[in-house]
């Protein structure tokens, strides 16, 4: 069985110029959001936070990309992203242009906030579902107990009637 691919494996397959840039992007993201886990997802590098993929990045022939560019992210950084190509949830930065280090760091931090908020929402839904399920079980159990008491009471009344002359 082959070992899981790593970001190092991905970077090793990139041309030298792209490799250097992607390594810098990786470093910026890792420093901006400590505690992330590096993974390969959809065959490209990604950082996971709290068990959920926070951000992806990939190298291409003439640009490198950062994903996902959520509506909230695009709105928050509209002015700063204006010089770059943005479409379908992807932000493209030219390989031959200056690296927007501060913008990349802010994007990573913003995505971390979005990811943590999603994790909290998921946990709240799970907790609410668990409470609902527990309440249903209690209600069901109470109905069974009540029904059992009624049956037992009815049996006692029937048994008393039979024993009376």
132 vs 55, more confident: 55
Nearest to 38 by CA among 23, 24, 53, 58: 53
Residue 163 above 60 pLDDT?
no
Say what percent of the chain tops pLDDT 70: 79
Question: Could you tell me the end-to-end alpha-carbon distance of the chain, in angstroms, rounded to an integer?
Answer: 83
Helix (H, G, I), strand (E, B) or coil at 4: coil
Average pLDDT over residues 106-134: 87
Task: Specify the CATH number of the domain 7-122.
Answer: 3.90.1150.200
Whole-number pLDDT of residue 12? 96
Average pLDDT over residues 98-113: 97
149 vs 13, more confident: 13
Q: Which of 36-50, 82-96, 137-151 has the lowest mean pLDDT?
A: 137-151
Buried b (16+ CB within 10 A) or exposed e, 63-74: bbbbbbbeeebe
- Average predicted confidence (pLDDT) for the chain: 87
Q: Residue 151: pLDDT band by 50, 70, 90 thresholds? A: low
Q: What is the pTM of this model?
A: 0.75
Say what percent of the chain tops pLDDT 90: 67
Q: What would the pLDDT profile of 7-63 be if each residue is shown by its tens digit?
A: 999 999 999 989 999 999 999 999 999 999 999 999 999 999 999 999 999 999 999
């Amino acid at each position: 069985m082959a070992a899981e691919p790593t970001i190092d494996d991905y970077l090793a397959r990139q041309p030298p110029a792209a490799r250097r840039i992607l390594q810098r992007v990786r470093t910026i993201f890792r420093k901006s959001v400590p505690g992330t886990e590096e993974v390969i997802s959809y065959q490209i590098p990604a950082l996971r936070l709290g068990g959920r993929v926070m951000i992806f990045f990939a190298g291409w022939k003439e640009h490198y990309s950062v994903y996902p560019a959520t509506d909230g992210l695009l709105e928050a950084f509209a002015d700063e992203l204006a010089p770059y190509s943005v479409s379908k949830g992807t932000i493209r930065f030219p390989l031959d242009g200056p690296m927007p280090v501060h913008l990349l760091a802010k994007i990573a931090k913003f995505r971390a906030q979005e990811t943590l908020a999603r994790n909290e929402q998921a946990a709240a839904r799970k907790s609410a579902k668990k409470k609902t399920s527990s309440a249903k079980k209690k209600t069901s159990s109470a109905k069974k107990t009540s029904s059992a008491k009624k049956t037992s009471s009815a049996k006692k009344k029937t048994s008393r009637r039979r024993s009376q002359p």
